[in-house]
């Protein structure tokens, strides 16, 4: 017999990862739809396997395993994936938000995979509010020279060469 809870969790994580990926894709950022969807779906699947897959030992008795070890493995793996997205060039750090987004979407997948559907949905909605709603506010905040965008760096270079 099929247990619907893990399947619903994986499907929900897939949809929420897709939503986060659409936001990243819309703004032309790295790690778009496919990456975010696969990370959320994979995290949900690993978490569902951890929660539901190790309930019984090989002989049918209750297994004594630490299911949190799979969660720790997901976090570690996502850390490596995120680290590969971060680049430091001169004084500017690029890819930090993308790496944080991958880390976040893995957590959403884990929440959905363990059956915390409401938490996964509210977290994703909050993510979208932050990522879309804070963007206009950032335009009014002062930035240090090391955080200047490409236009500002280009004009700075032009000033120094002329």
pLDDT means over runs of 10, the chain (162 residues): 87 97 92 94 93 68 74 90 86 88 96 96 97 89 60 38 43
Strand partners, 87: 94
Q: State residue 102's pLDDT score.
A: 94
DSSP symbols for the chain: ---HHHHHHHHHHHHHHHHHHHHHHHTT-SS-HHHHHHHHHHHHHHHHHHHHTTSB-TTSSBP---THHHHHHHHHHHHHHHHTT-EEETTEEESHHHHHHHHHHHHHHHHHHHT-HHHHHHHHHHHHHHHHHHHHHHTTS---GGG--HHHHHHHHHHHH-
Q: State residue 37's pLDDT score.
A: 96
Say what the pTM is. 0.79
Rg of the chain over CA atoms, in angstroms? Answer: 20
Q: State residue 46's pLDDT score.
A: 93
Q: State residue 59's pLDDT score.
A: 63
Q: State residue 147's pLDDT score.
A: 52
Q: State residue 56's pLDDT score.
A: 62
């Amino acid at each position: 017999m099929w247990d619907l809870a893990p399947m619903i969790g994986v499907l929900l994580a897939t949809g929420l990862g897709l939503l986060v990926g659409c936001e990243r894709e819309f703004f032309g950022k790295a790690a778009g739809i496919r990456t975010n969807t696969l990370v959320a779906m994979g995290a949900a699947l690993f978490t569902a396997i951890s929660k539901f897959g190790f309930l019984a030992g090989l002989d049918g008795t209750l297994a004594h395993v630490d299911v949190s070890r799979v969660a720790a493995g997901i976090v570690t793996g996502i850390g490596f994936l995120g680290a590969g997205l971060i680049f430091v060039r001169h004084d500017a750090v690029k890819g930090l938000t993308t790496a944080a987004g991958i880390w976040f979407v893995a957590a959403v997948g884990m929440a959905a995979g363990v059956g915390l559907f409401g938490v996964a949905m509210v977290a994703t909605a909050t993510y979208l509010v932050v990522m879309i709603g804070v963007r206009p506010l950032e335009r009014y905040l002062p930035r240090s020279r090391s955080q200047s965008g490409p236009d500002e760096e280009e004009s700075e270079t032009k000033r120094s060469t002329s």
